Amino acid sequence: MSESKDFLRSIVEEDLKSGKYREIVTRFPPEPNGFPHIGHAKSIAINFGIARDYHGHCNLRMDDTNPTTEDTKYVEALKDAVDWLGFDWGERVYFTSDYFPKLYDYAVKLIKMGKAYVDSLNEEEMRAHRGTVTEAGKRSIFAERSVEENLDLFERMKNGEFKDGSHVLRAKIDMSAANMKMRDPLLYRIRHAHHFRAGDTWSIYPMYDFAHCLSDYIEGISHSLCTLEFENNRDIYDWVLDTLDLEPPRPYQYEFARLGINYTVMSKRKLLELVESGQVSGWDDPRLPTIAGYKRRGYTPESILTFCDQIGIAKANSMVDVAQLEFCIRDDLNTKVPRVMCVLDPLKITIENYEGSEILDASYYPEDVPKEGTRKLPFSKEIYIERDDFNENPPKGYFRLTPEQPVRLKHGYIISCKEVIKDAQGEIVEIKVHYHPESKSGSDSSGIKVKSAIHWVSAAEAKRVEVRLYDRLFKEETPEGLEDVNPDSLKIIKNALIEPSVITQKPDERFQFERQGYFYADPVDYSEETPVFNKIVGLKDSWGKKKKKRSETAKPQAKKVQIDGEVAAMSAQEQAHFDRYTAELELNPEVANTLARDAQLSTFYDEALRANHSPVTIANIVSNEVARELKENQVAALQFSAAQIAQLAEMIDDETISSKIAKRVFEEMVISGEDPKQIVESKGLIQISDPVKIAPIIDEVIAKNPDNVAKFLAGNTKLLGFFVGQVLKNTGGKANPKVVNELVAKKLNEHIPEPERC
RNA sequence: UGGGGUAUCGCCAAGCGGUAAGGCACUAGUUUUUGGUACUGGCAUUCGGGGGUUCGAAUCCCUCUACCCCAUCCA
């Protein structure tokens, strides 16, 4: 867990502290109608993670309320995903379909309460009745049906007496609700369909909005965490649970932003499209962001979990850079896996002055990885190196083999180029080199300096392997569809050459192919005859980046221009208020504007003014503090009165209290409705303006923070606020901030060290 | 257009009236038989824009703007 808490954990902690719940119970509630992807992983990490962190538990629940799209193969994939990520649901795998009988009873209860009715409008009529975002809807004539009739109809719906679509059960809420979701939402629909678990018992199925909240309640969920698109559904969630008048505690829903990653797609529809069009080999294609895909590619569950932890949880729609994910897997594998040598694009090297062969001892791990293990590395006259690692006309800064520049063979000798052999087309087919006998790795006495060490394999012993190079599936950062697929997302190398120990010794299933990247023995296609390795992720490549940058031109980045919208004109009455406030009372136009445009505010202000004619101070309090309270409440609901605000202003005006204390007093008034004078008196909030009393506190703060004093003297003037804040804190906010400010500045300057003062 | 959300560095993201956390990316350097790793340093005088309140505002108030979600018998 990262050190700062996310907003969900903050809520959970508060609820635990306040005693709202004794135990934290969350749930991961996927619909089994598709393969889980990394977005699900985020949800799994959140739900199971929070349960783990607060010693509660998390249920795995299949939200299987739609028989036409769901299948048992998906529930297996979902279970696999949770399991692979390392979470344990114990006995707690649940299915919404198991609650169908209970859900039915709740529906009956709602009907009996007169809160639900059977509607027999067809789909089209229902849409027409729903209205639009700006116009209210119209209630169906069937909403008039009696409880008895509704009960009868609903039972017959259940019994399968009606055709699909002929009737639905709806909640009776409000057809003119601003929230469209609340316009008598559907609770049940008729579906004569076979359910993969419930079989043919039911011919009616509950809708999400009815089933989900109640399933949460039935399972004793405390925090129902879902994604942002369900924000509008929260009102129904609350309505159902509250209307049913259930025994507490009940769950509450909170929403977080779903995961988006650039250069990939996350929607079930688009994923399905990729699979069905044959663009990828299946749900577990290593290029897919599915859990099965990452697993097949060679990602570790740890790396996915770290990623989920790093990206955080918030409510802003966001698009995470794939580089963040790639960092997580590299970082995880760096300390875990053996380094081996594999040549992807072989170039033959003949060491003219070497005869015979030898076996080199080579560690599987570099010095900075605290793991043990070595392998035998055959070395001989004929070897292969990477074609890229030789350059006849090297660019500036090229560290590898050139006609003039020697290079070290990793774990072996230094070689120098003697002759470049080309075919008729001018293609380099072989390099003849000389090795330096005294330069053997570990006992080098040659004194030759090389710029780099390259990987290689001995020609006779190397094994032929297939390597699948995966790159991002889409060429666009925000892909729309199939047309944005990256044509080079998969490159298959049939004839890569790998050192023998990888195949014979099999020290691991994941490797770092030295200087190239991390690779994974494909769990499906790997065989003794043709070993297959999937590229998980490349190593960071600062040389490649440097080369690329040279050819790239900087693209201009235009700064976005902010357009200012037009402010609505004031009504005649508002204008009259405004004029009086600015002309007669000499209010700041902005403050006057705020007051004048809000009838509640101007009335409140005028009333306060009658108790104490201090137009400016009162206007400031009303336009700022009172305005805030009036956002949520009507005037009648306020605990405090206009006269009390007038009294508060008086104390500010005569400097009994500072404006800082006034805010505290105001907060108290909001809650208790007590007189400000009384609050000030009982809490002893009268401000301290006497420098003699304040000075020692400043001295103390200065003495305690020598570092910040130094920083301040070095020119960080922002620190003045820090010192003022500390002093204010030490006096419980009672020190007169203006006095403190002056005094602190003076005292701090006295601290300029002696030498500088001379 | 009504309602509900969201805006802090290239990408995530802390922050809740008193010194703008952290990670990725980028960048400079040190170490290195991986152009890897590790390490050190640099990366927001400013928080979507404009005003206001305050000794002090990313945080409070007003206002404007941009983006996302909602009118499936999907979830």
Read off the pLDDT of residues A274-310 as tens digits, 9 standing for 90 and up. 999 999 999 999 999 999 999 999 999 999 999 999 9
Read off the pLDDT of residues A381-410 as tens digits, 9 standing for 90 and up. 999 999 999 999 999 999 999 999 999 999
So what's the pLDDT on residue A758?
38
Tell me if residue A351 falls in helix, strand or coil. strand
Q: Which of residues 666-695 of A touch strand B (CB under 7 A)?
A: none
Read off the pLDDT of residues A9-64 as tens digits, 9 standing for 90 and up. 999 999 999 999 999 999 999 999 999 999 999 999 999 999 999 999 999 999 99
How many Å does it take to go from CA A669 to C1' B63? 28
So what's the pLDDT on residue A560?
66
Task: Tell me if A456 sits within 8 A of A410, measured CB to CB.
Answer: yes
| Cβ A366 to strand B below 7 Å | yes
Q: Residue A559's pLDDT band (boundaries 50, 70, 90)?
A: low
Question: Per-residue pLDDT for A751 more than 90?
Answer: no
Closest residue, by C-alpha, to the C1' of B6: A316
Q: How deeply is A202 buried, as exposed, middle or buried, from its count of CB atoms within 10 A (0-12, 13-18, 19+)?
A: buried
Read off the pLDDT of residues A636-684 as tens digits, 9 standing for 90 and up. 999 999 999 999 999 999 999 999 999 999 999 999 999 999 999 999 9
Residue A742 token pair: 């002056």
Question: Per-residue pLDDT for A554 more than 70?
Answer: no
List the alpha helices (DSSP H) in A493-571: 501-504, 542-551
How many Å does it take to go from CA A378 to C1' B32? 25
So what's the pLDDT on residue A93?
98
ipTM: 0.98
Q: If residue A227 lies in a helix (H) or strand (E), which one and from where to where? A: strand A223-227
So what's the pLDDT on residue A3?
66
A290 has which bridge partners? A37
Q: Residue A541's pLDDT band (boundaries 50, 70, 90)?
A: very high
User: Quick one: which of A149, A155, A61, A144 has its CA closest to A105?
Assistant: A155
| Cβ A512 to strand B below 7 Å | yes
Q: Residue A2's pLDDT band (boundaries 50, 70, 90)?
A: very low
Does the CA dihedral A36-A39-A43-A45 come out positive or negative?
A: positive
Question: Per-residue pLDDT for A557 more than 90?
Answer: no
Secondary structure letter of residue A437 according to DSSP: G
Q: Residue A708's pLDDT band (boundaries 50, 70, 90)?
A: confident
| Cβ A445 to strand B below 7 Å | no
Q: Residue A556's pLDDT band (boundaries 50, 70, 90)?
A: very low
For residue A595, the one-letter residue type is L
So what's the pLDDT on residue A552?
61
Q: What are phi and psi of A137, to 5 degrees?
A: -90, 180
The answer to whether the peptide bond before residue A437 is cis (omega within 30 degrees of 0) is no
| Cβ A660 to strand B below 7 Å | yes
Q: Residue A749's pLDDT band (boundaries 50, 70, 90)?
A: confident
Other Cβ atoms closer than 10 A to A127: 11
Q: Which of residues 239-278 of A touch strand B (CB under 7 A)?
A: 257
List chain B nucleotides near protein: any atom < 7 Å from a Cβ.
1-8, 10-27, 33-38, 45-46, 48-49, 51-57, 60-75
Name the pairing type of β-strands A57-62 and A25-28. parallel
How many Å does it take to go from CA A489 to C1' B70? 37
**Mean pLDDT, all residues of chain A:** 95
| Predicted TM-score of the model (pTM) | 0.95
Q: Mean pLDDT across the stretch A182-196?
A: 98
Question: Per-residue pLDDT for A343 more than 90?
Answer: yes
> What is the strand order of the sheet A168-171 is part of?
A116-119, A168-171, A186-190, A204-206
For residue A160, the one-letter residue type is G
Read off the pLDDT of residues A164-184 as tens digits, 9 standing for 90 and up. 999 999 999 999 999 999 999
Q: Which nucleotide is nearest to A314 (CA to C1')?
A: B13
Other Cβ atoms closer than 10 A to A675: 17
How many Å does it take to go from CA A345 to C1' B36? 20
For residue A179, the one-letter residue type is N
Question: Per-residue pLDDT for A319 more than 50?
Answer: yes
Closest residue, by C-alpha, to the C1' of B34: A515
Q: Which nucleotide is nearest to A183 (CA to C1')?
A: B71
Q: Which of residues 192-231 of A touch strand B (CB under 7 A)?
A: 205, 207-209, 212, 228-231
A453 has which bridge partners? A408
Q: When comparing pLDDT for A380 and A548, which is higher? A: A380
Q: Residue A315's pLDDT band (boundaries 50, 70, 90)?
A: very high
| Cα-Cα end-to-end distance for chain A | 53
In the block, tokens 């994939």 appear at A77
Catalytic residues of A: 31, 258, 268
Task: Tell me if A50 sits within 8 A of A9, measured CB to CB.
Answer: yes
| Cβ A70 to strand B below 7 Å | no
So what's the pLDDT on residue A757?
42
Q: Mean pLDDT across the stretch A138-163?
A: 98
So what's the pLDDT on residue A716?
82
What percent of chain A is modeled with pLDDT above 90?
A: 91
What ranges make up the beta strands (E) of A399-462? 407-409, 414-422, 428-435, 453-454, 456-458
Q: Residue A553's pLDDT band (boundaries 50, 70, 90)?
A: very low
Domains in chain A and their CATH numbers? 7-97+211-257 (3.40.50.620), 99-206 (3.90.800.10), 339-547 (2.40.240.10), 562-683 (no CATH), 691-750 (1.10.10.410)
Q: Mean pLDDT across the stretch A206-228?
A: 98
Residue A472 token pair: 């991002």
Q: Which nucleotide is nearest to A721 (CA to C1')?
A: B18
So what's the pLDDT on residue A555?
46
Exposure b/e, A420-430, CB count within 10 A at least 16 = b: eeeeeeeeeee
Q: Mean pLDDT across the stretch A73-99?
A: 97
Give the separation between CA A394 and CA A382, rounded to whole angstroms. Answer: 24
Residue A92 token pair: 């707690």
Question: Per-residue pLDDT for A600 more than 80?
Answer: yes
